[in-house]
Amino acid sequence: PGAGLFEFATFGILVACVVLHELGHALMARRFGIRVVDITLWPLGGMARMTQMPESSRIEGLVAIAGPFLNFVLAGIGLPIWLWAVTSETTSPFTRELALSFLWWNLTLGGFNLLPAFPMDGGRILRAVLATMMPYLRATFWAATLGKCLAVVGISIAILQYQAYL
């Protein structure tokens, strides 16, 4: 029963971290007057849906980086809590593991979303940077192309790892 409760709590932490990540995007978009329609959660993540594209590449970059930034802030809050839980003699293993889970999910979500693979946050940040040097459509092409290359590399690594276990 304890393991099931831990898995359920860990899943809850993951969902909460994804929702907070998307809220980071939504709040930054609203700061620039962009209306956020909703936040959609999927099995592989989430998306803050907006009524319009940001009017400048600078704003697009700030909206894109807000989600990972919030995850890193939450990880920064979670680190001392986890350190306290690990060093305290009064905390249970359950509490220590939940604190580690909170820290882990925020670091993982923040880091993974910074991969420059469009349409993930890192790809949108890359497009925003490229759009300062070239036309927007060309920047989108290059950000998407890099994303496809990273997908091929990721799939290749997964296949090699799978074959190593056979």
What residues are labeled active site? Answer: 22
In this structure, the number of other CB atoms found within 10 A of the CB of residue 126 comes to 25
Show the DSSP H helices in the chain as ranges.
2-31, 57-87, 93-113, 121-130, 136-165
- DSSP classification of residue 89: S
Sign of CA dihedral 83, 86, 92, 97: positive
118 conformational bin, left if phi > 0, alpha if psi -120 to 50, beta if neither: beta
Separation of alpha carbons 19 and 133, rounded Å:
33
Separation of alpha carbons 9 and 94, rounded Å:
10
